[in-house]
Amino acid sequence: MKRWLGRMVMIGTIVGVGMSGHVVEAAYRDVPATYRFASSIDVLRAADMVDDGLYFRPTQRATRAETAELLVRLAEKKPAPRPTRFKDVPRTHPSSGYIEAAVENGFISGFPDGTFRPDAPVTRGQFALMLMRTYPYTHSPFFERAPRQPFKDVTRGMRAHDLITQMTAHRIAGGFPDGTFRPDAPIERGQLAYFVERAMERSYENMIALTFIQRGGFADRYGEYLLLEAVETMPTGDVRFTLSYKNVHTSTGKTTLGRYGYDDTTDHYYDVTLAQQTGQKTVYRFETFQ
């Protein structure tokens, strides 16, 4: 298991609390509590993924160097400056260690002319490509995703088409009220923080559910007919999800196996329906399926 995944699990716990509706007081002078993405910025700051300081510059365009740094800080601690493969990123560049690490991990790449262009802005479509490469737990044949939202400016011929629609299905990103995603628009630093925080939470939730599926033998029992639905973090911090399977013999074509939860304070899974009936989170016994 990759080193960054262990850190992401820890961060996921923080995010689960941060999304419970608690209003977070912004830490930066230019990020008021009323700013749309203030809580996302605060979560990243608390997880040491963005630096402390007086200003965050939330509406400023995010650069390729800044994006590389943020993606790398999901995976590891701050790397030291080092030589890079790019002629426009010397060792003395403040982001040289991050840029080289991001390229090594496959998060981002350079250009055919041997440059990285660290100060160039990142578009919303480009960031969709980078972000979805970083989170393997957003990819699973078991997920029953929400209907893919069509964007009138995202066509099937676009390189980022599938990943943009996947981000939407996983509730990581949405479009604009006019029905567009604006893939060629530069992404702002505040938007960047929001997308990353949402991806961390979705990946944490999905990892919890997939661990349950693996430990319980559900995949072996139901194979490609297994469905994972309604994965969400509750206000209490518990992750809850529903398992179903495709059933061609019913009118709905789907049969629910059960609703399950994970309590990270005890590190135990439980049956949600039973917990609602008894008022107790009885530890789920996986040996039932072994």
Strands 226-233 and 239-246: antiparallel
Backbone torsion region of residue 189, taken as left when φ is above 0, otherwise alpha when ψ lies between -120 and 50, otherwise beta = alpha
**Beta pairing partners, 233:** 239
Name the 3-class secondary structure at 258.
Answer: strand
- Distance between CA atoms of residues 244 and 254, nearest Å: 7
What 89-95 contacts at long range (C-beta under 8 Å, 24+ apart), as own/partner pairs, is 89/116, 89/118, 93/65, 93/118, 95/65, 95/66, 95/68, 95/69
Show the beta-strand stretches assigned E in 101-247: 226-233, 239-246
User: How do the pLDDT tens digits run along the chain, 290 residues long?
Assistant: 333 333 444 443 333 333 333 344 447 999 999 999 999 999 999 888 888 889 999 999 999 999 999 989 877 778 899 999 999 999 999 999 999 999 998 889 999 999 999 999 999 999 888 887 777 666 666 875 555 667 889 888 888 887 888 788 777 887 888 989 999 999 999 999 998 998 888 888 888 999 999 999 998 888 888 998 888 999 999 999 999 998 777 666 788 999 999 999 999 999 999 999 999 999 999 865 44
Q: H or E element: which one contains 259?
A: strand 254-263
- Distance between CA atoms of residues 89 and 96, nearest Å: 6
- pTM, 2 dp: 0.77
What's the pLDDT score for residue 6?
38
